[in-house]
Structure 1
Amino acid sequence: MSKTVYLNISQITEVHHKEVQLKDVADVYCDDSAIMNKCNALRIKTIHSDKNKRYIENALDVIKKLIEMDSTLQINNVGEVDYIIDYHKAKKPNWVWQWIKTIFVCIICFCGAAFAIMTFNNDVNVTDVFKEIYRIIMKQESSGFTILEVSYSIGLALGIVGFFNHFAKLKINTDPTPLEVEMRLYEDNVSKTLIQNEGRKESDIDVS
């Protein structure tokens, strides 16, 4: 009697060991828990190189290995057809270096954002606009530091927090932040490009 095994293979998976098992790259489900455990433990790839590298793999190879293990299995893949194993050598985290990189990125982002805001304000001449509005409403000259400048600064900070939907560990709602969306799009595009490039090289039509 055949048993149906469902595979949900992830598009890209980072691993730190050379013996890659099916459970490392896919979620496996079967009514028979013994078969499911056996499938999870199946070795699908052995990495021989010590270099950090991405390997492009195909779900058909996984299905073949499962059939070789047990010819009575009926495999149903509901995940990716082509997937990536991203191998990185196991190493202890260097928290000092991680903090240095984080602080450096924060400084770059802060300075870049500040420069962009100042450039925009100079382009549209916000200072003169505020002075003119203050003179018209208050009937006196602006000192350059009035309720308009204070409100604008506070509103700008609140607007940034609201747009990015994130402040420290707090989130305004459950939606992903714009940065998270862009990072996921970038990761998806990188994965798709790697897979497409691998297919082109195998077909001898690579553009590079």
Structure 2
Amino acid sequence: MTNIVYLRVKKSVEIPYLKEIRLEDIAFVSTNDPKLKKRLEEIPLYRMTKKDNNLVVIDSFLIVEHLTALYQDIDIQLIGPTQSIVRVSPKSKKTAVPILVVVWILLFIGTSMTIMNFHYDVSMQEVHQKLYYLLTGERNEYPLWIQIPYSFGLGIGTLLFFNHWFNKRFNEEPSPLEVEIYNYQQDLDHYLNHYENKYNGRNHTP
């Protein structure tokens, strides 16, 4: 009797160190036979080595080929992605305080210069002066009661736009930066799927 096995490959997986990759590490398995499911999940597929440069792409077709060679009485139904990207996550290191301070100062100066240059290019001071004249009928070279609230509003608007205050999030919506990082990761995974498929049986575990 043929057992139907549903296999959904995980698109991207991170492992803490170089190790032997089992089916349960890179895919979800579903079948009516619990014992068969357990045996399938424990099947070794690949042995990560330093030659992989902490990254390997495993194709689901080769997974099916390997499983059907071991179990000829199963019918595998693939669902979802056709390849899985396995990365070895680097060991987390504590950030040095001096480096953090230097980076923060550089970012602060760079951002300040960018904002000031933008306001200079669009003649923001003249805009505030004209706005002050329209509201009061008087001319003032430094309309502080407009410039100061505008400066606070610029900072608050930036915080709301990026939806973060240090580690706190204002709402559940992703920030534009997080969306851009996600899109970049998607493009990177797409590239790896096409050009970096290293699953060639070299470290295959029969």
| TM-score interval, normalised by the smaller of the two chains | 0.7 to 0.9
Confirm or deny: 8 A CA contact 1:51 1:88 kept in the other structure: no
Q: Which has the higher contact order (CA 8 A, sep 6+)?
A: 2
Cα offset for 1:102? 5.5
Q: Letter of the 1:80 partner, please give it.
A: P
Per-residue CA deviation, residues 83-123 of structure 1 (Å, 9 max, x unaligned), is 3222356x4x32134x6666555444433332221111000
Cα offset for 1:187? 0.8
Q: What is the CA–CA distance in structure 2 between the aligned matches of 1:66 and 1:126, rounded to whole Å?
A: 67
Q: TM-score, normalised by structure 1?
A: 0.80
- The count of residues paired between Structure 1 and Structure 2 equals 197
Per-residue CA deviation, residues 10-47 of structure 1 (Å, 9 max, x unaligned), is 22222223211112212222232222222221111012
Taking the TM superposition and a 5 Å limit, the aligned residue runs for 1:32-51 are 32-49=33-50
Confirm or deny: 8 A CA contact 2:18 2:49 kept in the other structure: no
Cα offset for 1:2? 2.3
Q: Letter of the 2:112 partner, please give it.
A: A
Q: Unpaired segments of 5 or more residues in structure 1?
A: 203-208
Note closer, same or farther for the CA distance 1:50–1:106 as it changes in structure 2 (3 Å cut).
farther
Taking the TM superposition and a 5 Å limit, the aligned residue runs for 1:18-97 are 18-49=19-50, 52-88=53-89, 91=91, 93-97=92-96
Q: Identity of counterpart residues, as a percentage?
A: 24
Note closer, same or farther for the CA distance 1:129–1:56 as it changes in structure 2 (3 Å cut).
same
Q: Letter of the 2:93 partner, please give it.
A: N
1:5 and 2:1 aligned: no
Q: What is the CA–CA distance in structure 2 between the aligned matches of 1:108 and 1:88, rounded to whole Å?
A: 28
Q: What is the CA–CA distance in structure 2 between the aligned matches of 1:158 and 1:63, rounded to whole Å?
A: 53
Per-residue CA deviation, residues 149-171 of structure 1 (Å, 9 max, x unaligned), is 12211221222122222223333
Q: TM-score, normalised by structure 2?
A: 0.81
1:146 to 136, 139, 144: 144
Q: What is the CA–CA distance in structure 2 between the aligned matches of 1:183 and 1:55, rounded to whole Å?
A: 21
Q: What is the CA–CA distance in structure 1 between the aligned matches of 2:188 and 2:38, rounded to whole Å?
A: 32
* Aligned-pair Cα RMSD in Å: 2.6
